[in-house]
Structure 1
């Protein structure tokens, strides 16, 4: 919208951006643009010609916007060339004559005036008429070191012609800049196409060079650094996993979640039309740790079931371990995803230029890594993880034999209890199903009456009573 309205003013070069981004770009390359093509050489006219050819080669490339050449306005200038032979005859050296002409045209501070706390310089110079008119300047009289009085036109040639209002230098060389911004396309691929177009259409004379700078240069350096850090993080994660599980196969299976996450990240960037940038690369590196964590949750629980609960390797073990890890994996993934949703919905808002690509990359990777983790990781571990899991289980038993014995005793006691319960339930069932037995009354035996014996004094036997 802004670009269309400003295009109505002919001859006006515009560059649309934000103050913070312009400041950063100027600090990086000295140019307020994302792409700065610097042409170095000696002749200013040749530099301007090469800059116009470079601009023509960049026009029409998709994504290039705000294309312009560094402004160099030609203004009237007085060029004074010293006639060395004539100056030497009257005793002038080129240095002394040049110093005199600089004082006459530019001025020279010869003293100061104090007015209270204010200080004013006293400048010695010619009046405006003699400084701007070549004829009047040529009639100015000079006193030579030998005492001869000569006119300026006798010892120097004064010519009025057009020249640039300023000359930019970098690394002690003259340069001119062709700048541009990039919209609707990633910066890297746009600059690569610009390089190819310039190489085909612009022929550099000997002694002239082209340098590509701006935000692109800083992005290239940051990309190389982040790629090195990303590779280092992947190696560090693998080493940590290998140290913990002592199995390269298990570590590799856990790290399979990384490509699962990259699938979602690339898809999310394609859907949102977000170009690849340093911010998205930061999101990829952050996503590596998040995706690896999900694999650790799954695989660690499979091994836990074998080492701690003494469950043998089977398909049921994998199914049980996967089901028991659905809630933890979903909880961590959903929590992280909910925190990123506000950033994903803030596309185009000021201040979200860096956070938005990071959120898009991480959220897309979370979705695919979580879903594929539930289906692919169990199948891969069941196919390739048996040897490593059984080895870890044996090592755990050797290190903790008492734990194994208790686990077996508990398991054996549970088995016996189950068998006793089954036996008792079987007896009860057989008793309930058997035919009823008729009851027979038991005969009550006759009870003899008690016998009382009394001792007699005369020695007779006592009489017994029934």
Structure 2
């Protein structure tokens, strides 16, 4: 045929692929809008990823329509442009692809039926996946938090700390153990004395016994410290601190019982504790005994006090001095400052009988024992009063094993609703990681559909065809077939990390499918130009020609992403748990996306175009 100027060919080629390429890159950038909508902890974790990807795609989109065309004209001035047929790899791929595509087109109903079966099967597998806020991140250490009933003495707690620490350290995988009971000298740590914490530093994994996993190690550690009356929970140091600071709950799932009477709240908490013990996945459940703290009170005998010329304040000050002590002065030791506190020695105040023998000086000079001036009594009361939203609160801690957070809470809610009756003015609020999960779900329900609508609008402006835009958009849910299947094989739960990977797949799916549609469009334009009255065979050949021309760019786009994800899929160590959840829906989705783009899209495109072009009065051609 007639030789056309190189510059004219370059301009025509850029006009052909430029708009679609620009819109595809823009779609990838827009697809990350749901990530930008995330808040709090999940937002801080994934916003850097979204910013990096978005700015890179925006820059690539601008470069593709500004710098690339003149660079092509500059560097392709001389020399021969080799055809795809001269590439040995491409020749092998083309020879393998064409007969498979021919069979797929000839048996299009079978292919679409197989696709429908795959969609149904994937939907079933998706319902079998659990849900959680974030996957458990390996930190190299564990946080063991036992809790006992209020009223335990300092001596008993100290003995329990030493015994538990020694037991934990006897496990070969444990490097060191540090335990503490009660609160630090900080207002952000309002832990009672009955709440203990052990930071268990583990040895590197290569020094573990053969066959030991993280879950089996936790089970072994938990059995070793199993003591009646001690409720145990296991988490990670960083994860546990974040949960406690944000929700006040130290376990993955918790319940806050809110109301106006502490006794009723405690009773409801114990009912919920009993009900949840039978729910599958419950490792331990403990409702705080918010009214079971022990108090020693002194009830003054006013007539006796008056007889000795003493006041109630005189007697109470002596109780305060003897038991709690009085700060008399600070002392400075170098750069450190300490308070000097004076009180009775322990051997003179460690039981009620000895306190009754404490002497009080009367104005008359007489020394009167405290037992004569009043009565010491023990009573129960709240060791700590919690409130939230203007209501008193009681916490229930739930530790899980072998169950996802979302599925567990859904079942537990039904059990609580059936077995526990809340009086008017009292209610339960589920919290912990489940609270984060609900927050993410509610936000994605709004932002994700809006993002898909925006992507549809961008594609429509580029393609100017509703049906073709819908064809490309179909790739978004269908590309998740492989991702969901891979997650099911790896036994991953859905989480924010998984949704981040699925959202990243949206842009890649749209871009890859758009490449195929561009080449099919060009092939069918040539068909309309060269065959005014096409036959069925002409339709098939046009589809084959367009699909074969798109084979190399489609495989390059997909392979580039797959090769980039392989190091993440085989990674180990700290951080790999989260990164694998991000990459697994993309990795599996790219595999199914390749099959979808190379076989299903050409079939659907042919069916659509053949139906449109074969209508009488279409104005194009009619066979």
Q: Same fold (TM over 0.5)?
A: yes
Q: Is the 8 A contact 1:250 1:388 kept in 2?
A: no
The gaps in structure 1 that reach 5 residues or longer are: 391-466
Query: 1:71 deviation in Å?
Result: 8.0
Query: What SS is found at the alignment partner of 1:216?
Result: helix
- Aligned-partner Cα distance in 1 for 2:418–2:243: 28
Q: Is the 8 A contact 1:28 1:215 kept in 2?
A: no
Query: 1:321 deviation in Å?
Result: 0.8
Q: 1:324 aligns with which of 545, 549, 552?
A: 549
The gaps in structure 2 that reach 5 residues or longer are: 1-215, 615-623
Taking a change above 3 Å as real, the CA distance of residues 16 and 148 of structure 1, as seen in their structure-2 partners, is: closer
Deviates more, 1:125-134 or 1:177-186: 125-134
Query: 1:21 deviation in Å?
Result: 2.7
- Aligned-partner Cα distance in 2 for 1:249–1:84: 93
Taking a change above 3 Å as real, the CA distance of residues 149 and 366 of structure 1, as seen in their structure-2 partners, is: same
Q: Is the 8 A contact 1:41 1:175 kept in 2?
A: yes
- Aligned-partner Cα distance in 2 for 1:200–1:83: 51
TM-score normalised by the chain length of structure 1: 0.68
Equivalent in the alignment of 1:364 = 588
Q: 1:167 aligns with which of 384, 388, 401?
A: 384
Equivalent in the alignment of 1:373 = 597
Q: Is the 8 A contact 1:77 1:161 kept in 2?
A: yes
Q: Is the 8 A contact 2:318 2:360 kept in 1?
A: no
Query: 1:67 deviation in Å?
Result: 3.8
Q: Is the 8 A contact 2:325 2:343 kept in 1?
A: yes
Query: 1:162 deviation in Å?
Result: 5.7
Query: 1:160 deviation in Å?
Result: 2.6
Query: 1:187 deviation in Å?
Result: 1.7
Query: 1:285 deviation in Å?
Result: 1.1
Pair 1:354 & 2:571 matched: no
Query: 1:223 deviation in Å?
Result: 2.8
- Aligned-partner Cα distance in 2 for 1:276–1:96: 64
Taking a change above 3 Å as real, the CA distance of residues 95 and 231 of structure 1, as seen in their structure-2 partners, is: farther
Equivalent in the alignment of 2:472 = 254
- Aligned-partner Cα distance in 1 for 2:426–2:320: 31
Equivalent in the alignment of 1:402 = none
Query: 1:202-351 counterparts in 2 under 5 A?
Result: 202-205=420-423, 207-305=425-523, 311=529, 315=539, 316-345=541-570, 350-351=574-575
Pair 1:2 & 2:2 matched: no
Taking a change above 3 Å as real, the CA distance of residues 35 and 116 of structure 1, as seen in their structure-2 partners, is: closer
Query: 1:351 deviation in Å?
Result: 2.6
Taking a change above 3 Å as real, the CA distance of residues 121 and 268 of structure 1, as seen in their structure-2 partners, is: closer
Render the CA deviation track for 1:339-374: whole Å, top value 9, x for unaligned. Answer: 32343345x865322122222211222122221222
Query: 1:105 deviation in Å?
Result: 3.1
Query: 1:165-204 counterparts in 2 under 5 A?
Result: 166-167=383-384, 169-171=386-388, 175-204=393-422
Query: 1:82 deviation in Å?
Result: 6.0
Query: 1:120 deviation in Å?
Result: 4.5
Taking a change above 3 Å as real, the CA distance of residues 312 and 183 of structure 1, as seen in their structure-2 partners, is: farther
TM-score normalised by the chain length of structure 2: 0.53
Equivalent in the alignment of 1:410 = none
- Aligned-partner Cα distance in 2 for 1:221–1:96: 55
- Aligned-partner Cα distance in 1 for 2:499–2:422: 36
- Aligned-partner Cα distance in 2 for 1:363–1:281: 13
Q: Is the 8 A contact 2:290 2:385 kept in 1?
A: no
Deviates more, 1:299-308 or 1:316-325: 299-308
Taking a change above 3 Å as real, the CA distance of residues 360 and 119 of structure 1, as seen in their structure-2 partners, is: closer
- Aligned-partner Cα distance in 1 for 2:306–2:471: 88
Query: 1:149 deviation in Å?
Result: 10
Query: What SS is found at the alignment partner of 1:197?
Result: helix
Render the CA deviation track for 1:73-104: whole Å, top value 9, x for unaligned. Answer: 96754123467899899999988976665455
Larger radius of gyration: 1
Q: What is the RMSD of the two structures over their aligned residues, measured on CA atoms? A: 4.2
- Aligned-partner Cα distance in 2 for 1:345–1:114: 57
Query: What SS is found at the alignment partner of 1:354?
Result: helix
Taking a change above 3 Å as real, the CA distance of residues 260 and 131 of structure 1, as seen in their structure-2 partners, is: same
Deviates more, 1:57-66 or 1:316-325: 57-66
Equivalent in the alignment of 1:439 = none
Equivalent in the alignment of 1:121 = 339
Equivalent in the alignment of 2:183 = none
Render the CA deviation track for 1:296-351: whole Å, top value 9, x for unaligned. Answer: 101122334466997468613322111111121122212222332343345x8653
Taking a change above 3 Å as real, the CA distance of residues 279 and 382 of structure 1, as seen in their structure-2 partners, is: same
- Aligned-partner Cα distance in 1 for 2:321–2:425: 35
Q: Is the 8 A contact 1:28 1:218 kept in 2?
A: no
Query: 1:293 deviation in Å?
Result: 1.0
Taking a change above 3 Å as real, the CA distance of residues 293 and 157 of structure 1, as seen in their structure-2 partners, is: same
Taking a change above 3 Å as real, the CA distance of residues 81 and 199 of structure 1, as seen in their structure-2 partners, is: farther
Of structures 1 and 2, the one with the larger relative CO (CA 8 A, separation 6+) is 2
Pair 1:34 & 2:259 matched: no
- Aligned-partner Cα distance in 1 for 2:613–2:582: 36
Q: Is the 8 A contact 1:249 1:385 kept in 2?
A: no
